[in-house]
Structure 1
């Protein structure tokens, strides 16, 4: 017997899950709450709502309609926040251009996404100037600026954002349409080949917003995000909608602070002056802030941070918590919109010692609502939650990208067997916490064994003299691969820590049983800096090429 569908009265409103509906609550409950951009702009939610209407009318005058694509090249700003709403609410598609890609890759993404209109911050006009003659679909270009003047450029501009907004009407009727309409697109940096386009619907973004809202604010745990917080994202807004958290912040009606281009001194100034209490970032950004000379005189007590993008090492976690930062790990990827898990301590864990809590906070986390996550064998068989059975992490959720844009072959690989394959290796413990142990492509395969680069990096970061660290596999004639570590020392330890000191540090963990002696790196290199991707992750592909 088939399921029975509900009867629908002809006059009933089906209420599609559209991004425009996310604005109802904040406009009714917190219309006077502030939105801040550096020390340049300050206005209310009500004023932002007017600006969203103006932005839609401005874009309409430039030819944007349902199904059009609008590319944005900007730092984290109030403008970006307005476009997070205005573009998809029109029925158009927001392409958040990854400004940290090479000019050739940026050109590829703009052409591949078929951008009709491009909004460009003055800082990126030189890039656009170099590639504009190869645009295939861009018809209009609008400049975004923080200062009073637009610098000289050969880019044919069709106006300046604020000037065009000032002339636009603040009355726009945002239509209803299918909630499965494409709302946004973004290009992953990838490790090989050209960037891959992921995309998300209105329905997916709304459900992701509600699930993160419930997960981050409903439980008695650490690093919660609630209506009395002050929010400042430190994850680029071009990168999967700044993890979708600006939409969550809007639902909560919190004060929002946007820092523009990341500068430790500016970030710390805003933290203090705007009384910021909640942020999210990758480990390298947190490390940059904690290592900044300006941070020494700033009280970070009460600042709550979710760390994602790369593993949070115990050393960095302890350094942050020693400064009063309340932090946990989050996990996801470009293809997953992105949040899948949060490493929230359970209520009884909140009274544990610092070291015991750090072990939990550095886990990859428990799935948030509506996420079905498993660890499986190569044949797709689910593994037990015993804290040791390791396999690939696969996932199902309402907000996962349904494919790669114009790339059906790789999309089918991503969704092999009806589960999204993350490419991450890990295990789930008895309490349901996931622990990623490596990327499939990064794990060191040596003499028939797998060695986790993340565990080696975590051990290194617990050395008092280590500022940053990376582990990679390098070719070995006898064993296939052997582990090598790259170490950036803190300034005060340079010249005082030897390779033998690092080996002895690893041997302590051998004696404790954390790793085997076989996992102790054969090669240790002290370097001034580590290569990173466009979103601040360790770029191990470059490292492997350098030390091959």
Structure 2
């Protein structure tokens, strides 16, 4: 049987899914909506669109064309938002560079993409000067110099000066929606970071699915047109979870905080009326501590999507006391990133801590080691595997890892999870973090959540260490305010977990073999707890 296709008139012009159409639609319906950068810059969507054209003109004059990779090293800013649009709209590739990586990792990331142009903030001038000798292809550099105090040889110009000299409009043209729009590198894995890439089609579909989901959320758990949006996830990290594009699509007022300074974030929230943000748990903890420092009794209303790692119950409760409604989301660099968001029609805080309901167009199942699907009963566990139209197709230049990623025709998340009959996903642990003791699995996530309920514990992490009898045994690292209370905290934690084991809330063999009190937990470049570093300390 042959397939049939929709007929088209002779004058019909097919429209692809291009990032350009998000911006054009927003300007057509909300030209006077505001975008704010710290306390330094304020302009409208219409003015932003003009600057996008100017940036494209300036980059074109510097040799950027279709397929050129343009790297950006900046804090969360209106300039980054302009690059989100201008570079892909030219048919070029935007590389969002994780500025917190090591020197060797940065050189690897920029060399692997063949980046030839770099836009960088003056805060990174010393770092850029250091890595450029190892990057001969990276020949054109644009400096962002907010304070006019940095001079640097070899730059093609300063960002604002180049934009002022460039002329709008730029003649953006249509092209294949499957053209690569962005690239960046995953973090937190062994070895060097792996590159991922996303097309215009993938990014637009992700934005549409995410916007739909956020609109379906209960009141106070989503993003709507009367909200004020401020990202607290770095814009170099998986498109800031795709939400700057969603906010633009929805014509929402946007506030960009630049470098994260807790007192300034609180000030921007109050002054600009911010009502929606997203962050990892460590950033949320930073905000709550800052609010306590300045004596801010309430931050309501403020909805906070929390991802990157599990949302602990104790942190959720602390946020609630400060007037912040938290709800979890789930995704990873390879998924663009959001594939699930939690929601609850009532006061079910536990439901809001789960990875959540699958967003539209996402298929998910859990499988055993032989790729056999597990029951969707909320109890049976397996590795979470996914399909969706926007998942990265491969790790460019790494065929072996790509084959592992898509083994059996599903994207492997390496997360142990359960799925309920209504499609709610609950992450139990990372495959690499789950502890196998005496033939049984111990969830580090569950242990950490229990420990964080202790009033003295600010941060907690559990890892498995080799044991000659049991295979592995868990050990726990904790951070408390007063080190003088370390012995008290450790003794009472042991008693607390033993009590949970005695009442059947956790298995007895899951009680950690020992506790260690440390000044701070090591973090990855995106603010997650670095368990690999903790393992290195115990080896």
TM-score range, shorter chain: over 0.9
SS in 1 for 2:141: strand
Match of 1:451 among 412, 434, 442: 442
User: 1:110 Cα deviation (Å)?
Assistant: 0.7
What is residue 64 of structure 2 aligned with on the other side? 64
1:436 is aligned to 427
Match of 1:331 in 2: 330
- The worse-fitting range, judged by mean Cα deviation, of 308-317 and 375-384 is 375-384
- Which residue is equivalent to 2:492? 501
Which residue of the partner structure matches residue 192 of structure 1? 190
1:238-257 equivalences under 5 Å are 238-257=236-255
Structure 1 Cα separation of the partners of residues 239 and 246 of structure 2:
11
Rounded to whole Å, the distance in 2 between the matches of 1:144 and 1:267 is: 22
Cα deviation for residue 508 of structure 1 reads: 2.6
1:514 pairs with 2:513: no
Match of 1:413 in 2: 404
Structure 2 residues not aligned, in runs of 5+: none
Secondary structure of the equivalent of 2:295? helix
For the pair 1:305 / 2:304, whether they are aligned, the reply is: yes
| Cα contact 2:210–2:246 (8 A) shared by 1 | yes
Q: Which residue of 1 aligns with 2:475?
A: 484
In 2, distance between residues paired with 1:59 and 1:366? 41
Equivalent position SS for 1:494: helix
Equivalent position SS for 1:300: coil
For 1:48, the equivalent position in structure 2 comes to 48
Alignment partner of 2:537 out of 530, 538, 546:
546
Q: Per-residue displacement from partner, 1:80-121 (whole Å, max 9, x unpaired)? A: 000000000000000001101001111111111111100110
Matched, 1:343 2:342: yes
The aligned residue for residue 216 of structure 2 is: 218
Deviates more, 1:327-336 or 1:127-136: 127-136
CA distance in 2, matches of 1:128, 1:27: 35
User: CA deviation digits over 1:204-225, x for unaligned, max 9?
Assistant: 0100011000001124354110
| TM-score between the two structures when normalised by the length of structure 2 | 0.98
Is residue 319 from structure 1 mapped to residue 318 from structure 2 by the alignment? Answer: yes
SS at match of 2:3: coil
The match for 1:28 is: 28
Contact map agreement 2:188 2:530 (CA 8 A) in 1: no
In 1, Cα distance between equivalents of 2:188 and 2:304: 26
Aligned-pair Cα RMSD in Å: 1.3
> Which whole-Å CA distance do the structure 2 matches of 1:528 and 1:454 have between them?
21
SS of residue paired to 2:157: coil
1:204 is matched with which residue? 202
Contact 2:457 2:489 in 1 (8 A): no
TM-score for both structures, normalised by structure 1: 0.96
Whether the 8 Å contact between 2:210 and 2:359 is mirrored in structure 1 is yes
User: Once the two structures are superposed, what CA deviation does each residue of 1:322-356 show, in whole Å capped at 9, x if it has no partner?
Assistant: 211111000000000000000111x3xx2x4xxxx
Q: Which moved more, 1:208-217 or 1:134-143?
A: 134-143
State the distance in 1 between where 2:147 and 2:223 align.
33
Correspondence 1:78-477 to 2 at 5 A = 78-149=78-149, 151-153=150-152, 155-292=153-290, 293-294=292-293, 296-345=295-344, 347=345, 350=346, 352=347, 357-477=348-468
Q: Which secondary structure state, in structure 1, belongs to the residue aligned with residue 197 of structure 2? A: strand
For 1:417 and 1:332, locate their aligned partners in 2 and report how far apart those are by CA, in whole Å.
20
Distance in 2 between residues matched to 1:426 and 1:65, nearest whole Å:
43
Q: Which moved more, 1:510-519 or 1:33-42?
A: 510-519
> Between Structure 1 and Structure 2, how many residues are aligned?
538
Instruction: Report the 3-state secondary structure (helix = DSSP H, G, I; strand = E; otherwise coil) of the residue aligned with 1:341.
Output: strand
Q: CA 1:362/1:526 → structure 2, altered by over 3 Å: closer, same or farther?
A: same
Q: Is the 8 A contact 1:68 1:93 kept in 2?
A: yes
The answer (yes or no) to whether the contact 1:268–1:295 under 8 Å persists in 2 is: no
CA deviations over 1:180-205 (Å, ceiling 9, x no partner): 00000010113211110000000001
- Alignment partners' CA distance in 2, 1:190 and 1:327: 24
The SS at the match of 2:26 is helix
